[in-house]
Structure 1
Amino acid sequence: MPATRRQASVVRVTRPQQIGTRLPMEHPARPARKPSLAALVLLTGIGPFATDTYIAALPELRRSLHTTATVAQLTMTAFIVGVAAGQLLLGPVSDSRGRRRIVVASSVTFAVLSAVCAVAPNGAVLVAARLGQGIAAGSGVAVGRAMVTDAWRGADAAARFGTIASVTFLGPVLAPAAGGLILAHGTWRTIFVALTVLGAAMAVAVLVGLPETLPRERRHPSGPADAGARMLDLLRDWGFLRHIVVQCLATAGFFTYIGGSSFVLQTSLRISPGTYTIVFATNAAAMAVTAVLFRVLVRRYGAARLRTLGVVAATVAAAGLLVLALADPAGRLPLAAPWALLCLGVGGMGFVYPATTALAQEAGRRAAGTAAALQGGLSFLTGALVTPLTGLLGYDSLLPMALCMTVFFLAASAALLAARRSQAVHSGTS
């Protein structure tokens, strides 16, 4: 295709709302063969699972490699940074290069680097391998979401996102338990051997179950400048950006809980580590259950309504936690009251995440890989930034964590309300 015609096609694809007619890229033909949902679950769920599997083995890892606790913890930080980078870097690339080659390469890379982790001779090699492992896992998350967007639309796509989310949310619950079971019969290296086997299974599932979902005629121009232009285009589009704003604010509230609940509950409420594990696992299970409910209900009620329900539930729970903290500064109330509120708030996120994913991917369908990269990468970075907040503000009482959660979830509710009003105004003037 000549350069001028090619550029013109990109302009039409990037801003389809400026033209009255519907364009093929805006409503693309679906792939001849649907991706396997099981393969997509493996592809997008292995990142959360691999994050926490060896958390109980960090002390043993430090002694085995004769390194410091900082380096041992850095192996986890490197993986998390890699997951964010993998989404932001390779999601946009898939819009120009296609999906299948990237997910095959990332799956094989994950398996190979898991094996490197298993035989790492020192901390530096392990940190580097974990960074690469995270990039591979992150690219699978972004490109896997894009493949769902390529293959399904509307409520059908939202239902698939609900299924993927329900399995992904179980990762933080199952991973430490699986790691502990492996440690009972092996070492931290055995855990990475198990991740190597899991990565190999993922690579086979991807090869067998994931066809190419982005035909050549629907691909965008390649190159960093083109990828940057697609990112800017989506970030300037309020129809897409409003979903990202809501998700980032809700993620900030959720990660305040993730980063602070262990310290707050064990310090201010004086519960044991074992009890906290039960609390955390129960809340995570509640989020997985609501994600399953999302899949069941989304065709009847729509993703937007269910997201509103999830944000309202999380906001009410956070506000209730704040009232509880103000009424009981000494933490004399039984654990049941804050536990129930936290379970409600975390459970609400089981609606928020798959709904926002479905809505953002639909709004960014013209560049689905870039949309998935921005959605996952920006919310992940937001979570990483707010995680230390409770530690900085104090964890001797419930108040700092409850206050931060309330502020973020109220902001998410306000952003959701503003987005709905702007959409209503736009619909009324169109």
Structure 2
Amino acid sequence: MVALVLLTGVGPFATDAYIAALPELRRSLHTSATMAQLTLTAFIIGVAAGQLLLGPVSDIRGRRGIVLVSTVSFALLSLLCAAAPTAGVLVLARLGQGIAAGTGVALGRAMVTDVWQGDRAAARFGSIASVTFLGPVLAPAVGGVILDHGTWRTVFLALTGLGAAMAVAALVGLPETLPAHRRHDGGPRAALARMAGLLRDRTVLTNLVVLCLAIAGFFTYIGGSAFVFQTAYRVDESRYTLIFATNAAGMAAAGLLFRVLVRRAGAGRLRAAGLAASTVATLVLLVVALVDRRAGGPLAVPWTLLAVVVAGMGLTLPASTALTQEAGRRSAGTTAALQGGLGFLAGALVTPLTGLLGYATLLPMASAMAVFFVAACAMLVLLARPGASFQALHSPGG
């Protein structure tokens, strides 16, 4: 589990730990702000690509060898980032680093599915999620401590050490979980065929759509809340950081609660509860936005409602991961690739939505969130209709 947590949780640290150093990075490499930001974009693209490309490959070649190569590659590419002489080299190194990190995320999920089933697998996903959710809270703080005593290059040296620890943990703690007799045959064309087959499976597809819609609502909050709070509610940066960190901590606590409750309640019921909490809180937030158009009311009201939305995601995300992986167990690596790639794409597409719709008031962000969460609930109802397959995890002990 330590190795799996490192595999799946390295992404937030590699994404957020050096964000505060972007202006210094721009100056030291004598480049533009656009190129400095491109180092972040390249990593995010790499994370999505690593999941979509190497998740299906692991169904053919096995998990352990690819995991070991990806962890060592992450460490070496982090070292290259630390030594990058130009912005162009850094962008390319960050792209490769993202591919290595994304590979670990997809294969970590697949390995859980290989070893555990049903609510036991869901409990492991809850444990991993509760730690991973702390990444956005801890990474900026850890990065800030490093930057107090070093530069942006020091952050990447620290990531090199994290990559080395990840490689050692994988070498010691992760056996091969997909034996030869359970692997698929064929090359890239066969892998694409398996991916298409999963997308034609009604249960897999509906679970994926529910997950992507919930992620879209969540990332609308992530991409827009800073602008809304700082513009409409006139909150300064330090206070917004407190708001965001508090909400993220609530999400991590909900992930731990999922770990405790999943064997009694079932992943399906916990997903329904989490999604219902997020949806109801979002609809109330929309009412608040309609009534208080000038944001003259107390800040505690939208803050509390958004905290409920985020905490609900602490139940929804690990439950959706477990349910989707179980539905696509026959090709666990490909299923993990679809979850990570499509979920990431959904989040990336909606992140700038509030900027496009406007952020002078709370209304545009609340409206977009409400649309996505209500649509996710509608898809969940569709999944529960008579005749839908994979009902096992919707009840305790499934």
Classify the TM-score, shorter chain: over 0.9
TM-superposed deviation, 1:353: 0.6
Equivalence for 1:87: 51
* Candidates 143, 166, 173, aligned match of 1:209: 173
Give the AA of the match of 1:414: A
Q: Partner of 2:46: helix, strand, or coil?
A: helix
Q: CA deviation at 1:426?
A: 9.5
1:161 aligned residue: 125
1:134-213 aligned at under 5 Å gives the runs: 134-213=98-177
Distance in 1 (alpha carbons) for counterparts of 2:54 and 2:389: 36
Between the aligned partners of 1:246 and 1:316, the Cα distance in structure 2 is 16
Matches within 5 A, 1:269-308: 269-308=233-272
Q: CA, structure 1 residues 423+174, in 2 after alignment: closer, same or farther (shift >3 Å)?
A: farther
1:78, 1:127 within 8 Å by CA — same for their partners in 2?
yes
Structure 2 CA distance for aligned equivalents of residues 61 and 157 of structure 1: 42
Q: Distance in 1 between matches of 2:41 and 2:137?
A: 19
The 2-side partners of 1:134 and 1:150 are apart by: 24
1:49 positional shift: 1.5
Q: Is residue 413 from structure 1 mapped to residue 373 from structure 2 by the alignment?
A: no
1:400 matches 2:364: yes
C-alpha separation in 2, matches of 1:303 and 1:376:
19
The answer on whether the counterparts of 1:245 and 1:415 sit within 8 Å (CA) in structure 2 is yes
CA-to-partner distance for each residue in 1:296-342, whole Å, 9 max, x for gaps?
00000000000000100110111111111110001011110000000
Q: 1:221 aligns with which of 181, 185, 190?
A: 185
Uncovered stretches (5+) of structure 2, i.e. residues with no partner: 392-398
Aligned to 1:128: 92
1:46 lines up with 2:13 in the alignment = no
Match of 2:194 in 1: 230
Q: Is the 8 A contact 1:97 1:222 kept in 2?
A: no
**Alignment partners' CA distance in 2, 1:48 and 1:176:** 9
Whole-Å Cα distance in 1 between the matches of residues 349 and 389 of structure 2? 34
Q: TM-score, normalised by structure 2?
A: 0.97
Distance in 2 of aligned mates of 1:352 and 1:146:
19
Partner of 2:222: 258
Structure 1 pair 338/220, CA: closer, same or farther in 2 (3 Å)?
same
Match of 2:83 among 87, 96, 119: 119
Q: Is the aligned partner of 1:375 residue 2:343?
A: no
Partners of 2:338 and 2:309 lie apart in 1 by 25
Identity of aligned residues (%): 70
Within 5 Å, which residues of 2 pair with 1:90-101?
90-101=54-65
Detail structure 1 runs of 4+ shifted over 2 Å in the superposition.
422-427
2:206 equivalent in structure 1: 242
Aligned residues: 391
CA contact (8 A) 2:250 2:311 kept: yes
Give the letter for the 1:238 counterpart: R
Aligned counterparts of 1:329 and 1:367: Cα–Cα separation in 2: 49
Tell me the TM-score normalized by structure 1: 0.90
Shift of 1:241: 1.1
Inter-partner Cα distance in structure 1 for 2:389 and 2:248: 38
- Cα offset for 1:222? 3.2
Once the 2 structures are TM-superposed, how far is the Cα of residue 424 of structure 1 from its aligned partner?
5.5
- Structure 1, residues 126-148: CA drift from partner, whole Å, max 9, x if none? 00000000000000000010000
> What CA RMSD, in Å, does the superposition of the two structures yield over aligned residues?
1.0
| Deviation digits for residues 168-189 of structure 1 (CA, Å, limit 9, x no counterpart) | 1100000000000000000000
- Contact persistence 2:47–2:101 (CA under 8 A): yes
Q: CA deviation at 1:422?
A: 4.6
Q: Secondary structure at the match of 1:63?
A: helix
Larger CA Rg, structure 1 vs 2: 1
3-state SS, counterpart of residue 334 of structure 1: coil
- Residues of 2 paired with 1:129 and 1:317: CA distance? 41
One-letter code of the match for 1:100? R
1:69 to 33, 39, 58: 33
Q: CA deviation at 1:387?
A: 0.5
SS of match in other structure, 1:421: coil
Q: Distance in 2 between matches of 1:186 and 1:354?
A: 36
Show structure 1 runs of 5+ residues with no match: 1-36
